[in-house]
Amino acid sequence: MLRRILGLTSGRIALGILAVIALLAVLGPLLAPQDPLAGSTDILASPSGSHLLGTDYLGRDVLSRLLDGSRVSVLGALQVALVALVVGVAPGIGSVYLGRAFEWAALRLADTLIALPFLVFAVAVTALLGNGIPQAMLTVGILISPLFFRVSRAATLSVARSPYVEAAIVSGASVGWVVRRHVWVKVLPPIAVALANTAGIGFVVVSSLTFLGIGVQPPAPTWGGVLAADLGYLSFRPWAPLVPTALIMATVWACNLLADAIRDVSGEAGRALLNTRKVRAGLAGAGREA
Amino acid sequence: MAPVLRLQDVRIRDNAGGRDVVHRVSFELTPGAVVGIVGESGSGKTMTCRAVLGILPEHFTVTGGTIELLGRDVAGFTGKEWTAQRGSTVSAVFQDPASYLNPSIKVGAQVAEVVRVKKGLRRREARRRAVELLASVRLRDPELVYQQYPHELSGGMLQRVLIAAAIAADPQVLIADEATTALDVTVQAEILDLLADLRERTGLALVVVSHDLAVVAQLCDEVLVMQHGEIVEQGPTSEILYHPQHSYTRLLIAEHESYGLDRFLEAPHAARA
Amino acid sequence: MPPALEIDNLDVHYGSVHALRGASLTASPGETVGLIGETGSGKSTLARAVLGLVRASAGRIVVAGQEVTGYSARQWRAQRRRGTVQYVFQDPLRSLDPDLTVEDSIVEPLLIQGRPRREAAARARVYAARVRLDEALLSRLPGELSGGQRQRVAIARALVTDPEVIILDEPVSALDSANRVRTLEFLKELRDSGAALLFISHDLGSVAGVADRIAVLYRGEIVEQGPARAVVNTPEHPYTRLLVGSAPTLRSAAADRAQRAELRALLTYEGKPS
pLDDT for residue C259: 83
| A190 pLDDT higher than 60 | yes
What ipTM does this complex have?
Answer: 0.85
Q: Which chain C residues touch B211 with a CB distance below 8 Å?
A: 176-177
Verify B-C touch: 3 or more CB pairs within 8 A.
yes
**What is the phi/psi pair of residue B272, to 5°?**
-60, 140
Amino acid at site B93: V
CA proximity to B139, closest of B101, B119, B102, B111 = B111
CA proximity to A130, closest of A4, A9, A214, A65 = A214
- Per DSSP, the three-state class of C34 is strand
CA distance C214 to C229: 9
For an interface test with C, give the residue of A171, A175, A180, A268 to mutate (most C CBs within 10 A): A171
- Integer angstrom CA distances of residue A37 from A28, A165, A243: 14, 59, 19
Q: Which chain B residues touch C180 with a CB distance below 8 Å?
A: 255, 259
- Per DSSP, the three-state class of C22 is strand
Q: Which residue has the higher pLDDT, C193 or B61?
A: B61
Identify residues of C whose CB sits under 8 angstroms from chain B CBs.
38-39, 176-178, 180-181, 184, 202-206, 208-210, 228-229, 232-233, 242-254, 257, 260-261, 264, 269, 273-274
Q: Which helix (H) or strand (E) holds A90?
A: helix A62-97
pLDDT for residue C206: 78
Those chains having 3 or more beta-carbon pairs within 8 angstroms of chain A are: C
Contact C97 A287 (CB under 8 A): no
Question: What's the first-to-final CA gap in chain B, in angstroms?
Answer: 18
When CB atoms are compared, the residue of A164, A168, A287 closest to C134 is A287
When CB atoms are compared, the residue of C244, C250, C274 closest to B262 is C250
**Do residues C10 and C22 lie in contact, with contact meaning Cβ atoms separated by under 8 Å?**
yes
pLDDT for residue A228: 85
When CB atoms are compared, the residue of C86, C144, C146 closest to A170 is C86
| Average pLDDT over all residues of chain A | 84
Q: Is the previous residue joined to A219 through a cis bond, with omega within 30 degrees of 0?
A: yes
pLDDT digits (tens, 9 = 90+) for B177-234: 999 887 888 888 899 999 999 999 999 999 999 988 888 888 899 999 999 999 999 9
Half-sphere exposure of A10 (CA within 13 A, CB side): 13
CA-nearest residue of chain C to A267? C99
Answer whether C53 touches A (CB < 8 Å): yes
Contact C81 A171 (CB under 8 A): yes
Q: Which residue has the higher pLDDT, C209 or B61?
A: B61
**Do residues C263 and C242 lie in contact, with contact meaning Cβ atoms separated by under 8 Å?**
yes
When CB atoms are compared, the residue of C178, C249, C257 closest to B256 is C249
Alpha-carbon radius of gyration of chain A: 23
Question: What's the first-to-final CA gap in chain A, in angstroms?
Answer: 32
What's the pLDDT band for A184 if we cut at 50, 70, 90? confident
pLDDT for residue C269: 56
Q: What is the 3-state secondary structure (H, E, C) of chain B?
A: CCCCEEEEEEEEEECCCCEEEEEEEEEEECCCCEEEEECCCCCCHHHHHHHHHCCCCCCEEEEEEEEEECCEEHHHCCHHHHHHHECCCEEEECCCHHHHCCCCCCHHHHHHHHHHHHHCCCHHHHHHHHHHHHHHCCCCCHHHHHCCCHHHCCHHHHHHHHHHHHHCCCCCEEEEECCCCCCCHHHHHHHHHHHHHHHHHHCCEEEEEECCHHHHHHHCCEEEEEECCEEEEEEEHHHHHHCCCCHHHHHHHHHHHHHCHHHCCCCCCCCCC
Of B26-35, B66-75, C161-170, C250-259, the least confident? C250-259
Q: Which chain C residues touch A177 with a CB distance below 8 Å?
A: 112
When CB atoms are compared, the residue of C38, C250, C269 closest to B217 is C250
CA proximity to A55, closest of A246, A230, A185 = A230
Residue B265 CB coordination number (10 Å):
21
For an interface test with B, give the residue of C218, C250, C252 to mutate (most B CBs within 10 A): C250
Supply the angle between the helices A62-97 and A184-211 in degrees, to the nearest 10: 140
Those chains having 3 or more beta-carbon pairs within 8 angstroms of chain B are: C
A vs C, Cβ pairs < 8 A, gives 83
Q: What single DSSP character describes residue A55?
A: B
Q: What single DSSP character describes residue A42?
A: -
pLDDT exceeding 70 applies to what percent of chain A?
Answer: 96
Length of chain B: 273
**Do residues B158 and B97 lie in contact, with contact meaning Cβ atoms separated by under 8 Å?**
yes
**Do residues B13 and B44 lie in contact, with contact meaning Cβ atoms separated by under 8 Å?**
no
CA proximity to B101, closest of B135, B150, B53 = B150
Residue C38 CB coordination number (10 Å):
21
The minimum CA-CA distance between C219 and chain A, rounded to whole Å, is 25
CA distance C230 to C44: 24
Q: What single DSSP character describes residue A61?
A: B
Q: Which chain A residues touch C87 with a CB distance below 8 Å?
A: 167, 170
CA-nearest residue of chain C to A275? C144
Residue B136 CB coordination number (10 Å):
18
- Per DSSP, the three-state class of A288 is coil
Q: Which chain C residues touch A178 with a CB distance below 8 Å?
A: none
pLDDT for residue B28: 93
Q: Tell me the sheet residues that pair with B6.
A: B28, B68
A75 contact partners, CB below 8 Å, separation of at least 6: A25, A133
Mean pLDDT of A27-41: 78
pLDDT digits (tens, 9 = 90+) for C20-79: 999 999 999 999 999 999 888 889 899 999 999 999 999 999 998 889 988 998 999 999
pLDDT for residue A262: 86
Q: What single DSSP character describes residue C137?
A: G
CA-nearest residue of chain C to A182? C97
Q: Would you write out chain B's pLDDT as a tens digit for each of its 273 residues? A: 789 999 999 999 998 888 889 999 999 999 999 999 998 878 889 999 999 999 998 889 999 899 999 999 998 899 999 999 999 999 999 998 999 999 999 999 999 999 999 999 999 999 999 999 999 999 989 999 999 999 999 989 999 999 999 999 999 999 999 998 878 888 888 999 999 999 999 999 999 999 888 888 888 999 999 999 999 999 999 888 889 999 999 988 887 777 777 777 654 433 333
pTM: 0.79
Q: What single DSSP character describes residue C11?
A: E
Burial string for A201-220 (b: 16+ CB within 10 Å, else e) reads: bbbbbbbbbbbeebbbeeeb
Q: Which chain C residues touch B269 with a CB distance below 8 Å?
A: 251-253
Q: Which chain C residues touch B262 with a CB distance below 8 Å?
A: 249-252
**Do residues A78 and A21 lie in contact, with contact meaning Cβ atoms separated by under 8 Å?**
no
pLDDT for residue B184: 86
Half-sphere exposure of B192 (CA within 13 A, CB side): 31
The minimum CA-CA distance between C160 and chain A, rounded to whole Å, is 11
pLDDT for residue C218: 92
Amino acid at site B168: A
Q: Which chain A residues touch C107 with a CB distance below 8 Å?
A: none
Name the C residues in 168-197 with CB < 8 Å from any A CB. 178
Q: What single DSSP character describes residue C221?
A: E
A220 contact partners, CB below 8 Å, separation of at least 6: A69, A72
The minimum CA-CA distance between C240 and chain B, rounded to whole Å, is 10
Contact C144 A173 (CB under 8 A): no
